[in-house]
Each structure stands twice: as C-alpha cells, then as structure tokens.
Structure 1
Amino acid sequence: MKNIIITGTSRGIGHELALQFAAAGHQVLSVSRKIAPELLGNKNISCLSVDLSSEEDLQKVSDFISSTWKKVDVLIHNAGSLLLKPFGEISSEEFEQVYKVNVFGVANLTRVCLPYLHKGSHVVTISSMGGIQGSMKFAGLSAYSSSKGAVITLSELLAEEYKGQGIAFNVLALGAVQTEMLQEAFPGYEAPISAKEMADYIFNFALTGNKYYNGKVLQVSSTTP
C-alpha cells in the first residue's frame, strides 16, 4: 500500500481520487483549503487545510510527512485556480494569484516533498489542454491556460533533474471534465466525461504510469477542448 498526497480534494476529480485510493487501501493525505466532510471519517484519509499559495501553510504538509509517513510514493498536483476574464481587465494581483496556486504551489509543494520522495515515486501534475501548444484556446483564460503551460515545462525539467534518483515526473493535460469548476466558469456546458471517470484514469496512471513514462505530457481528451 502506498502513501498518496492529493491536492484540491474538496470537490471534483481530487475528491473522487481521494475516495478511490482510500477504498483501495492506500494511505491518503488530502490537501485542500476546504475539507470535504465525506473525507474526514475515512480511516485511510488524513486531511489538512492548506492554502497552496502560502508557503507557511505548506509547512503543515512537511510536519505531517516527517512525523507520520516518512516517505511519499505518489504526489498528485490536482488543485487549480481558474479565472475567466478578458486579459485587459485582469489585475496584476489576480494574474499573480492564479500563478501562486497553479505554478508556485506546485513547485513549493514538490520541494517540500522532495526529501521524502524515493526511487519509484511518481509526481503527477494535472494540467490542461489549454496549456498545450497548438491546442484550441479559449478567450478569457489567459492566466489559467498560461499557468498550465508553465507547469508542463517545470515537470519536464524536474524529470531530467531527478531521473538519477528514480523519481518520475509526468503531466496529464486534461480536456473538458464535468466538474463544479467547469460549471462555474462555463454555465450550461456539458463535458463528455465525468469527474469520477477521469479519476479512474488518473488513479491507474498515478500507480503505474511511471513504469512507462518520465518527463512526458499525455493529452487526456476525447474532444478538441
């Protein structure tokens, strides 16, 4: 059984993933600003309320690992901040906040976990088709999609830097998934895949994908978006 850290577990894909890993007998550390009540009573899930944009908050994760687990087998960067707004109307503070969660949060949490990652550990970053060069882009997502492109390059670089230690870094660039975040940004849009269905795919990839991939970006989308 593995020790799994998942961010963004209060709802959507992250919430489904936490439940799936726990049901399979793995130990899960659920990291999210809001803690979902359904996760609290699960014997295989530990919950931490953490703001990924705050380096001080991330110390909670370090304290937990050092005192409880001592090692991390899988780290899934699933949390994301989405801002739908015309570029000319986005303030520098708003743009920066998206990057604090989607890019700096990923980098800082990875750095916190590094001492506990080992040969065979797998770091999976959830990106977006909007961050893939040449894919269809949507007006109003300049901060979000560009941040998702940034973590792709970051993961490729980390894969190269830590390949000698046997730590794998991969990215899943997702298409549209029927989540609360999608509905809030695009009311009425019907995505072709549910959060649970996407969680099924990520669950298996997180456990076995590092046997086949390192430093790779897999496009997980059945449609153009």
Structure 2
Amino acid sequence: MKNVIVTGASRGIGFELIQLFAKNDYNVLAISRNIDPIEKLQVKNITSISADLSEALDLERISTYIKDNLNQIDILIHNAGALINKPFTELSSEDFINVYKVNVFAVAELTKLSIPYLKKGSHVVTISSMGGIQGSLKFPGLAAYSSSKGAVITLMELLAEEYKDTGIVFNTLALGAVQTEMLQEAFPGYEAPVTPAQMADYIYNFALNGNTVYNGKVLQVSLSTP
C-alpha cells in the first residue's frame, strides 16, 4: 500500500480527502488537533495523530511515528490552515505569528522531517488560497491569512527547485471559496459555490496525477476570475 499524509484532517476538505484515499487502498496518516471525527470513522487503513503543528514536541511525535512505521511517503498534503479576520490596525504581532506558525512554519517543518522518506515520484501538495495570488481580489481583514498563503506559495516554488534532481515534486493549489467550517467561522452566512467533497475529489486526483506534468507550480482552483 502507498502512504499518504494529510494535515487538517478532522473536518472540511481534509476529512473528505482521508476517506477518498482510504477507499482507494492508501495507507493514510491523518493529522489534526481534534481526531475524534477521524477515529469515529473506524477505517482500518487510517491512522490518526492528534497534533498541533505549531508545537515542536508534536512535530517530534509525528517524526517518530513516520520513522517507526513508514518506509516511504508517496503523497504529503499540507491542508491544515489558520485564519484570522480582523482589521489591519487591530492585528497584533502575535496574531500574525500564530497564523504564520500554521500556514508557513508548520508546512516547512513537516516537509523537512518528511524529506528522508520522500522518493522519486513523491508528490508534496500544499493547499494555499486565491488570497495569496498576486493580482487576485483581496478582502479586508485577511492581511495575516492572505500574506501567509502568498509566502507558502513561494516556499513550495523554492523547494521544487532545491529538490528537482531528486524527483520529488512540489506543487501548490490556490483554492477559491469552499463551503468549509473555517470559511463559515470567518465569514458567517457566506455561501461558497464549491463543497468540501467536490474540492477533495479534485485535490485527490491532482495529488495522484499532477506530479506527472507540474513541478514548482501554483494552480488557481476557483470558479471566479482573479
């Protein structure tokens, strides 16, 4: 069985993704702070780890699990995200740091500890946002979130270049609005045109096949025009 790691796996897109991979005979490592919904699935080829990716000790536990149980990582999907919706003048340095810890620093750290297990043909997929795309429509209140999503796009471009000789592929998907719990928490009452299941299906297929034609790229996955 091939191995896939998905972060932010307890709800929304991540929750749909782990079920898709499991149904298609992947060995799934599902990482989330709240693993109750994952464990309730009772799927034998899904292993859940409760972890805050911004905490060094939790990253060490993930590293130990990978070392003891996985000889290779075929797909790594960075799906966990943090969003703060505040006017710019009300955003504190701590707000910025907390968002960047999850959206950028945790992505870097989890990728770093996964490098020894990523082989030729392995695909690292990072979920970013249209808010991180230069020239796209921006929304007031999302200075920390959108800037972090722009940063992670550049990080993946750099990693693709740094590891191009190894055959490891790094790509980013910049998503438009998806009807997730996080979106509802940030924008109560807003109705997105895409469901988590629809987006998970797209990401699943991209994770399996996108590395054959893309590397170091950011793809805009949105029904609207920037």
The bucket for the TM-score relative to the shorter chain is: over 0.9
Q: Deviations over 1:134-192 (max 9, x none)?
A: 00000000000000000000000000000100000000000000001111111111111
Letter in 1 for 2:83: L
State the match for 1:169 in structure 2.
Answer: 170
State the match for 1:72 in structure 2.
Answer: 73
State the match for 2:103 in structure 1.
Answer: 102
CA contact (8 A) 2:10 2:38 kept: no
State the match for 2:154 in structure 1.
Answer: 153
SS in 1 for 2:121: coil
State the match for 1:82 in structure 2.
Answer: 83
CA contact (8 A) 2:12 2:196 kept: yes
1:31-50 aligned within 5 A:
31-40=31-40, 41-50=42-51
State the match for 1:24 in structure 2.
Answer: 24
1:14 is displaced (CA, Å) by 0.3
* Alignment size in residue pairs: 225
Segment of structure 1 superposing worse, 39-48 or 13-22: 39-48
1:54 is displaced (CA, Å) by 0.9
Distance 1:82 1:58, change over 3 A: same
Normalising by the residue count of structure 2, what TM-score does the alignment of the two structures yield? Answer: 0.97
State the match for 1:187 in structure 2.
Answer: 188
SS in 1 for 2:185: helix
Distance 1:120 1:36 in 2: 32
Letter in 1 for 2:10: S
Distance 1:53 1:61 in 2: 12
Q: Which runs of 5+ in 1 are unaligned?
A: none
- Runs of 4+ residues over 4 Å off in structure 1: none
1:69 is displaced (CA, Å) by 1.2
Letter in 1 for 2:27: Q
% identity of equivalent residues? 67
Distance 1:81 1:113 in 2: 22
Letter in 2 for 1:94: D
Distance 1:73 1:60 in 2: 20
Distance 1:218 1:211 in 2: 14
Segment of structure 1 superposing worse, 150-159 or 37-46: 37-46
Normalising by the residue count of structure 1, what TM-score does the alignment of the two structures yield? Answer: 0.98
SS in 2 for 1:191: coil
Q: Which runs of 5+ in 2 are unaligned?
A: none
Segment of structure 1 superposing worse, 38-47 or 84-93: 38-47
SS in 1 for 2:157: helix
Q: CA RMSD in A?
A: 1.0
SS in 2 for 1:97: helix
Distance 1:169 1:154, change over 3 A: same
Distance 1:131 1:138 in 2: 11
CA contact (8 A) 1:52 1:58 kept: yes
CA contact (8 A) 1:175 1:224 kept: no
State the match for 2:7 in structure 1.
Answer: 7
Distance 1:13 1:28 in 2: 15
CA contact (8 A) 1:32 1:48 kept: yes
1:38 is displaced (CA, Å) by 4.1
SS in 1 for 2:191: coil
CA contact (8 A) 1:5 1:31 kept: yes
